[in-house]
Amino acid sequence: MAFSRPDVRVRPVLSPKEVLGLRQVTDQIRVDSRVKAYALEIVRRTRPPRSAELGLEHLIEWGASPRATMYLVMAARARALLEGRVYVIPDDVKAVAPDVLRHRVILSFEAEAQGVQPDTVVERILSATPVW
């Protein structure tokens, strides 16, 4: 194998039809209204005035949009399916939150100057947000 041309052959794990089938199954995963409210509160805490309650207002320039809540719940459903459950638990939301939110929370210049990473801000929000 030449270093300038690495072997990039891949083997599919699932067919397109299987992926579409899994998407349909994921849509059927149950999400309790309390879990939805929990996801919504996490997203709200990325924006003022909720971010100020956590002392994060100087770190966040722009919080996550309302659509982030939809994707947070969608990703939590997928995680529940992968974990073999037909329902979402708060731990599913917590587990996917950094991946869903890290590029949706825009940090301030001050945060960047201090070397604060989006995951750090998301983790602070998760640790300060009660489950129920």
Tell me the pLDDT tens digit for each residue of 5-46: 888 889 999 999 999 999 999 999 999 999 999 999 999 999
Residue 55 lies in a domain: yes
CATH number for the domain spanning 113: value is 1.10.8.80
* Distance separating alpha carbons of residues 51 and 73, to the nearest angstrom: 21
Give the number of domains in the chain: 1
Could you list the residue range(s) of the whole structural domain that residue 40 is in? 31-128
Residue 10 lies in a domain: no
Q: Return the HEC string of the chain.
A: CCCCCCCCCCCCCCCHHHHHHHHHHHHCCECCHHHHHHHHHHHHCCCCCHHHHCCCCCCEEECCCHHHHHHHHHHHHHHHHHCCCCECCHHHHHHHHHHHHCCCCEECHHHHHHCCCHHHHHHHHHHHCCCC
| pLDDT at position 1 over 70 | no
Tell me the pLDDT tens digit for each residue of 63-122: 999 999 999 999 999 999 999 999 999 999 999 999 999 999 999 999 999 999 999 999
Residue 11 lies in a domain: no
Residue 5 lies in a domain: no
Burial 19-29 (b: 16+ CB within 10 A, else e): eeeeeeebeeb
